Structure 1
């Protein structure tokens, strides 16, 4: 699989695998890094992770050589700016349905003249003022802007969204597309819509990612042509392991 989107999008090309981080625990990121995940996505959309917790998880991931991304709760520029200043390598922005929303996302990620992000060179991204202004501003050029395609409308606009200057990759949310069209994520209609978004991203020369609960599902998505995959999450992996232990013991006639 050939990485798409140039050097900036390289962390999301070539079959990279990551996982969602939902627990406010540094150990989650450490375990993911030591297990070999290429990136982690700190999940502020579907987990109660505040800015300070995200900051700590980002710091640990970066220190261990694992790319730290954040799925923000929404496209609010103030939240995106603070996460990038905290050192996040990029953001996934939920429910980007239109070109206008994609442009707003880019504006929140990029410094002027491309965007409207404010300068905060005394932040972690600026090494607390030790980086030169030029070095700090370069972090804005490198930051990944990844709109999430999660509705029939978004799929219809995927080609135009992918073509917006400053969009580095698309991320397809099959579960939310399924909700939008009143079908299961595995339904043929949803599969076709996800495939259409994937084709739109590749025609624009940028990577496209998706999420799945299992390793087998991840392998299938990569075989389908997705460039990066988010597999399971820290809470589900812990829950499944705990459930397996109890089931194995009690299922084999152990104490109840």
Structure 2
């Protein structure tokens, strides 16, 4: 996870559009996260977005809705640098996530050397297995139970980082994401990750909020997303041009 420590900044990609990745790369984001949890992006679309991000020098990650091994394997064979796995609440689930990402003897991922990750069979077996060994496994901590287990999850061999989902933690405990209760649980997760020697990331909507999270010690951030950036720019344009009083 070294590549994502030290204040690295990425953004969510939710639109099935190559332009989203191109804009993010040209803007200077360190990485993009193709969102298969909260956006209708299929494997083929993710494959294209991953390929383009890598070609532009922006690290491609994918957020998956669960730890299903077949889904994770296809994304890694497509060339994703790693996966964020939603709703990892227990140590057992963390082990399952690692198993889906790692090859034997550390996991159960199947060999796909004829995939893009194996240069369609042109890479040697050692090169393919060696490069794939660096795939990032990032459990998302999104409930009180997950926070309580964060130290143990972070200590699972093969977990490269934790990612805090403040919005879902808030839903789980019945408080707003910015409340003192949620902020405290996020801080506990951050401390647990660092105690285990792994980075911890978070998501936020604005640069100002991102600065606060970096000051708190978070190592990498996902800031904004393509759909919201487009929506906000559209609304700002119309408001600036519409006469006052018009709806």
Residue 74 of structure 1 and its aligned partner are, at CA, apart by 1.3
Give the alignment partner of residue 130 of structure 1, picking from 122, 126, 143: 122
Does residue 1:90 correspond to 2:82, yes or no?
Answer: yes
TM score, norm. by length of structure 1: 0.95
* Structure 1 stretches lacking a partner, 5+ long: 1-8
8 Å CA contact 2:117–2:132 kept in 1: the answer is no
CA RMSD after TM alignment: 1.1
Residue 11 of structure 1 and its aligned partner are, at CA, apart by 2.0
Residue 252 of structure 1 and its aligned partner are, at CA, apart by 5.7
Residue 156 of structure 1 corresponds to 148
Does residue 1:74 correspond to 2:66, yes or no?
Answer: yes
1:59-88 deviation line (CA, Å, top 9, x unaligned)? 000000000000012110000000000000
1:158-191 deviation line (CA, Å, top 9, x unaligned)? 0000000000000000000000000000110100
Instruction: Within 5 Å, give how 1:49-68 maps onto structure 2.
Output: 49-68=41-60
8 Å CA contact 1:102–1:164 kept in 2: the answer is yes
Q: Could you tell me how far apart the structure 2 residues matched to 1:222 and 1:252 are?
A: 38
SS of 1:45's partner is coil
8 Å CA contact 2:12–2:35 kept in 1: the answer is yes
Give the alignment partner of residue 229 of structure 2, picking from 237, 243, 252: 237
Residue 215 of structure 2 corresponds to 223
Does residue 1:107 correspond to 2:77, yes or no?
Answer: no
Residue 38 of structure 1 corresponds to 30
Instruction: Within 5 Å, give how 1:168-187 maps onto structure 2.
Output: 168-187=160-179
Which runs of structure 1 show a deviation greater than 4 angstroms over 4 or more consecutive aligned residues?
none
Q: Could you tell me how far apart the structure 1 residues matched to 2:218 and 2:163 are?
A: 9
Q: Could you tell me how far apart the structure 2 residues matched to 1:168 and 1:97 are?
A: 16
TM score, norm. by length of structure 2: 0.98
Q: Could you tell me how far apart the structure 2 residues matched to 1:95 and 1:73 are?
A: 8
* Structure 2 stretches lacking a partner, 5+ long: none
Residue 140 of structure 1 and its aligned partner are, at CA, apart by 2.5
Q: Could you tell me how far apart the structure 1 residues matched to 2:103 and 2:116 are?
A: 16
SS of 2:138's partner is strand
Q: Could you tell me how far apart the structure 1 residues matched to 2:231 and 2:117 are?
A: 34
